[in-house]
Amino acid sequence: MTDVFGDLVGQDEAVAMLRRAAASAAALLRAPVTSPAGGHDDLDALAEEHDGDPGPAAPADPGGGMTHAWIFTGPPGSGRSVAARAFAAALECVHGTGCGTCPGCHTTLAGTHADVRLVVPEGLSIGVNEMRALVLRAASAPSGGRWQIVIIEDADRLTEAAGNALLKAIEEPPPRTVFLLCAPSTHPDDISVTIRSRCRVVPLRQPPPAAVAEVLVRRDGIAPDVAEWAAAAAQGHVGRARRLARDPEARQRRDAVLAVPRRLTGVGAAFDAASALIEAAEAEAAASVAEIDEAERTALQTALGAGGTGRGAAGAMRGAAGQLKDLEKRQKSRATRAQRDALDRALVDLAGFYRDALIMALRAPVAPVHTDTASLASAGAQKWDAEGSLRRLEAVLECRAAIEANVKPRIAVEAMMLALWRG
């Protein structure tokens, strides 16, 4: 059986929690309206049932009940947005279970359900105007008669003002509106304490490599040995594992990153390696956004009637210039994000290598991340010992933290390469 939760790899506890909530939400929709006032908050009614005597419509487990605001947390690749979409589908499912085949499930997963809005930040942050418009639309009654759902991917990229607009909506939720936020963690850097206090948290864990490999074999038809290698190399990131298994270019980029430790033979080589890493990230990012950038530009030019010469064309062109400028700004912001993401993937691969050296120096009974560079890591372990391996691992992690804190990537990567060379 593959229902909407089938794509959540290695997250049994979270899935059980979401199933209970979906059942509870469905019971709520079936329950007769008890409030004569009409404006009663359905979810409050459910919460009251939990607090007091659970009625027949309420589930036995109060913690598994429905609520109007959720945060899905977990490391990148653990499936935060997959979980949020699956839960949204279960809420819109005509059977209330997330069967995976009814129109409610199908349109939600396909992104075409009229009552489900998905915010995917393209740039470095989600702005206040976008959030206000969204909150306004989410306040309307669900057209399908079930729930209005807003999914915010990367809620940690909300601007402060956007966060406040969202908080207001979460504090005074319309009766049938559900907010699903995704963030790396509930740390105040990722999500404000006040928003956090209004939400139920669904913690996702890094799925074990065996579970990732299993899904690659079962769903994507990847050969078991390739799936196992990719799952280990991707360190629990399902999407990354799939890309490594399928995309030769992704494998080549990874190989180039893992060749770095061998190439650090001097100061010059360290700077060369830094340049190579930065340029590879830029190239990867450019390739990933080029297609969509071009499509957006063409679509906008068509919509604006590019090349028109009739009456009013001059005025239209002035307006068009503004819109084109807006688009370019958005695209630049997205390109920056894509570069940082690509660089971060490279740094995670590199950290995996030094982590392998560390566990080998410590003779820890743990499987290496990168099976294909295990002998190189073993040589490193002998040369550097545990302490030297740990210092190098820390240098990579410090570089990630510095870039996250807005240090210029080139400067952070150069400092890291020198630290890796010096040891």
Q: What three-state secondary structure class fits 104?
A: helix
Q: Per rule CB under 5 A, is residue 71 in the interface with Zn ion?
A: no
> Which residue in the set 102, 316, 390, 415 belongs to the binding site for Zn ion (CB under 5 A)?
102
**Interacting span for Zn ion (CB under 5 A) from 25-33, 92-100, 189-197, 203-211:** 92-100
- Closer to Zn ion by Cβ: residue 95 or 251: 95
Query: Residue 423 and residue 413: Cα distance in Å, rounded?
Result: 15
Whether 409 contacts 253, CB under 8 Å: no
- Closest residue to Zn ion in the complex (CB): 93
Binding Zn ion by CB under 5 A: which of 23, 58, 93, 150?
Answer: 93
Q: How far is the CB of 95 from Zn ion (least distance, A)?
A: 5
Determine whether 299 is exposed, middle or buried from the number of CB atoms within 10 Å of its CB (0-12, 13-18, 19+). Answer: exposed
Contact by Cβ (8 Å): 393, 351: yes
- In three-state secondary structure terms, 76 is coil
- SS3 (DSSP) at 71: strand
Residue whose tokens read 């609520």: 67
Work out how close the CB of 116 gets to Zn ion at its nearest, in angstroms, rounded to a whole number: 13
* Site for Zn ion contains 26 (CB under 5 A): no
All residues at 6 or more sequence positions from 353 whose CB lies less than 8 Å from its CB, including other chains: 258, 261, 369, 370, 373, 376, 377, 380
Question: For residues 19 and 392, which CB has a smaller minimum distance to Zn ion in the complex?
Answer: 19
CA distance 348 to 154: 19
Q: Which stretch binds Zn ion (CB under 5 A): 33-41, 90-98, 315-323, 398-406?
A: 90-98
Q: Least CB distance from residue 100 to Zn ion, whole Å?
A: 6
Residue by residue, DSSP assigns 131-163 as: HHHHHHHHTSPPTTSS-EEEEETTGGGB-HHHH
- The window from 104-112, 176-184, 353-361, 370-378 that contacts Zn ion (CB under 5 A) reads 104-112
Q: Which stretch binds Zn ion (CB under 5 A): 19-27, 85-93, 230-238, 354-362?
A: 85-93
Stretch that binds Zn ion, among 61-69, 100-108, 136-144, 314-322 (CB under 5 A): 100-108
With contacts defined by CB under 5 A, how many residues of the chain interact with Zn ion? 4
Give me 156's structure tokens. Answer: 């940690």
Site stretch for Zn ion (CB under 5 A), options 28-36, 91-99, 141-149, 278-286: 91-99
The pair of three-digit structure tokens given for residue 119, joined into one six-digit string: 């915010």
- In the range 31-50, which residues lie near Zn ion by CB under 5 A? none
99 binds Zn ion (CB under 5 A): yes
C-alpha count within 13 angstroms, C-beta hemisphere, residue 181: 29
Of 50 and 146, the one with the shorter C-beta distance to Zn ion is 146
Residue indicated by tokens 């945060």: 71
| Residue 99 beta carbon to Zn ion: minimum distance, rounded to whole angstroms | 4
| 28, 43, 105, 162: which one binds Zn ion (CB under 5 A) | 105
Which uninterrupted H or E stretch holds 47? Answer: helix 42-51
Residue 415 φ/ψ, nearest 5 degrees: -60, -40
Q: Is 418 in contact with 260 (CB distance < 8 Å)? A: no
66 binds Zn ion (CB under 5 A): no
Q: How far is the CB of 3 from Zn ion (least distance, A)?
A: 8
Residues binding Zn ion (CB under 5 A)? 93, 99, 102, 105
